[in-house]
Amino acid sequence: MYKTNYAAIVVAAVAHWIVGALWFSPWLFSDAWIRANGFTPEQLEKMGTPISSFVLTFLGPLLTAYVLALVIRYARVVTALGGAAVGCMLAAGFVAAENLPLIVMAHRPNSTALFMIESGYAVVGCIVMGAILGAWAKPAAEREAKRMAA
C-alpha cells in the first residue's frame, strides 16, 4: 500500500477552497445564498470577513482532503474518475445527508435553496478533491509495487 501523499492533499484542499471561492462568488451563488439565509446588506456589512475566516475555511477542506485520501487509499482507487466517485459518495452520503436536517431546522427563508447551494458546494468540492487524489494515487501505487517487487 502506498504512503500518504501530503502534497496531493494540500493541492486537493486548495482546489476545494478555490471551488468554494467561486461557488459563493457573485458569478455563481452568492446572491442566492444571501437570499436563502435571509440576510440583509446591513447584516452582511456588520459581519465583515476577517482574515481568520479565510484561514478557517481552508482548514475544513484540508482535513476533508486528508480523510478522503485515506479512504481512497484503503479503497485502492488509482484513477481520477474513481477518486471523484469516492468523493461524490462520501460528500453526498455524509455531508449532504447531515446538512439536510440542520438546514431544515434552522428555519431559513428558503431552506431548499440553501440546502442545494451548501450541499452542492460540498459535493462538487469533494468530487474535485477526489479526482486530484485519485489521479495522484496511481503513481504512488506503482512506485510501491516496484519497491515491493524489488
Q: What is the pLDDT of residues 129-139, one digit of tens each?
A: 999 999 998 77
The candidate with the shortest Cα–Cα distance to 115, out of 104, 128, 125, is 104
Alpha-carbon distance 115 to 141, whole Å? Answer: 37
Q: What is the pLDDT of residues 48-101, one digit of tens each?
A: 676 777 788 899 999 999 999 999 999 999 999 999 999 999 999 999 888 888
The C-alpha cell at 76 is 485502492
Q: 75 — phi, psi (to 5°)?
A: -80, -5
Record the pTM.
0.86
**144 with 1: CB under 8 angstroms?**
yes
Q: Assess whether pLDDT exceeds 80 at residue 36.
A: yes
Model pLDDT, residue 146: 67
Alpha-carbon distance 59 to 41, whole Å? Answer: 27
Model pLDDT, residue 110: 82
Model pLDDT, residue 121: 96
Predicted confidence band at 144 (pLDDT cuts at 50, 70, 90)?
low
Alpha-carbon distance 41 to 25, whole Å? Answer: 15
Mean pLDDT of 106-124: 88
The candidate with the shortest Cα–Cα distance to 2, out of 63, 50, 72, is 72
Alpha-carbon distance 79 to 128, whole Å? Answer: 12
Mean of pLDDT over the chain: 87
